[in-house]
Structure 1
Amino acid sequence: MPVIASRLIYRQPQPEDVQRLFAIFGDPQTNLFNPAGPMTCLADAQRLLNRWREHWAAQGYGWWAIALRDAPQHVIGFGGVAPLHYLTQQRINLGYRFAVEAWGQGYATELGRDALAQAFDTLDLPEVFGLVRPDHRMSIRVLEKIGMQRWGVLDDVPGEAPSVVFRACRPTT
């Protein structure tokens, strides 16, 4: 069942999203700050999509396929909250990747706010982390705008500056 926010629609990724996933994750521009670089083959996109769908089936949440309310059939990105193993344990991580055509319109900030609301209000998670390369100023700004705080660093790319770890905690009432 899709979730409709102010401008965006979030839904569970479907098998037919594999081409769009590959187009977005394989675009060199969307990987400027990804040390692994762009996805290089459709089979990698299929494996990633399968992992996301397996997580959805087992846990009932995960990365969403994201579209505009005005164009619900056209996926502009993928993102949300899902487990990621780092800092010696599994953590719930906020992540996203948008097609270049969707950049600069506030969609990452909107997604971030909606994903934190899902994590805290629906899933009742105690905290959410965000991992970002230190030179990715736009993503750092998004995490700051949605209220995440710098929490630490992770030396995850040999020979490069450590990634910055952000954290948000469930608000107390």
Structure 2
Amino acid sequence: MQQTTARLILRPPMAEDLARLFAIYGDPATNQFNPAGPLTDIHQAENLLDGWLRHWDKNAYGQWAIAAREAPEHVIGFGGIALYNYLDVERLNLGYRFDAAAWGKGFATELGTTALAHAFKELEAEQVFALVRPSHLASIGVLEKIGMQRFSELDDVPGQPQSLVYIARRT
């Protein structure tokens, strides 16, 4: 299901998005806070995209492909609400990753606000979580700006500082 915001088009991903997914998720700049690092080959991107498509088929929601309204054919990022395993607990998770050229323009805040509204109004979710690395100050700022609050920590990356867990609750 496609959504629009003041500046963005949010649509389900398609097989044709593979090259942009690999370009964004394979870029070292977009992975500077990702302990796993960037994707290194197209097959990793195919597996990621296949998982997103299966999530959409099963749940009728998931990660969106994101484009600016002024250039709807050019995907600038991926993000939204999807089920995600926090170690052994499945949670509704807000996540996003934007092309470095799209940073600093408020797109993550716009996406996050819309994704939370979708989760609470359309999916009738009671709560949405987000994971963030403790050194990723820009993403922490986005999560706090959209009303998420620090909830706990998760020791999900061996040998690294614990991830911060944020939560938003339906009001």
Q: TM-score normalised to the size of structure 1?
A: 0.97
Q: Could you tell me how far apart the structure 2 residues matched to 1:161 and 1:65 are?
A: 30
Alignment pair present for 1:162 and 2:162: yes
- Structure 2 match to 1:30: 30
CA drift at 1:87: 5.0
Aligned ranges for residues 95-110 of structure 1 at < 5 Å?
95-110=95-110
- How do residues 55-70 of structure 1 correspond to structure 2 at under 5 angstroms? 55-70=55-70
Map 1:1-173 to 2 at 5 A: 1-171=1-171
Residue by residue, what CA displacement relative to the aligned partner does 1:8-64 show, whole Å, maximum 9, x if unpaired?
Answer: 000000000000000000000000000000000111111111110111011100000
Residues 60-119 of structure 1: CA distance to partner in whole angstroms, max 9, x if unpaired?
Answer: 000000000000000000000001111531000000000000000000000000000000
The one-letter code matched in structure 1 to 2:67 is A
| SS at 2:128 equivalent | strand
Task: Name the CA distance, whole Å, in 2 between partners of 1:60 and 1:73.
Answer: 22
Instruction: Return the alpha-carbon distance in structure 2 between the equivalents of residues 146 and 64 of structure 1.
Output: 18
Deviations 1:105-163 (A, max 9, x none): 00000000000000001110110000000000000000000000000000111122111
Task: Supply the distance in 2 between the matched residues of 1:2 and 1:96 (Cα, whole angstroms).
Answer: 16
Distance 1:38 1:139 in 2: 18
Distance of aligned partners of 1:116 and 1:28 in 2 relative to their CA distance in 1, 3 Å threshold: same
Query: SS of the residue aligned with 2:72?
Result: strand
| Corresponding residue pairs, total | 171
Secondary structure of 1:71 counterpart: coil
Q: Runs of 5+ in structure 1 lacking a partner?
A: none
* Matches of 1:87 and 1:156, distance apart in 2: 7
User: Normalized against structure 2, the TM-score is what?
Assistant: 0.98
- Distance in 1, Cα, partners of 2:4 & 2:28: 29
Secondary structure of the residue that 1:83 maps to in structure 2?
A: strand
Q: Name the SS of the counterpart of 1:73 in structure 2.
A: coil
Q: Which blocks of at least 5 consecutive residues in structure 2 are unaligned?
A: none
| Identical-pair percentage | 58
Q: Give the Cα–Cα distance (whole angstroms) in 1 for the partners of residues 162 and 47 of structure 2.
A: 28
For 1:130, the aligned partner's letter is: A
- RMSD between aligned residues: 0.8
Secondary structure at the aligned position of 1:139 is classed as helix
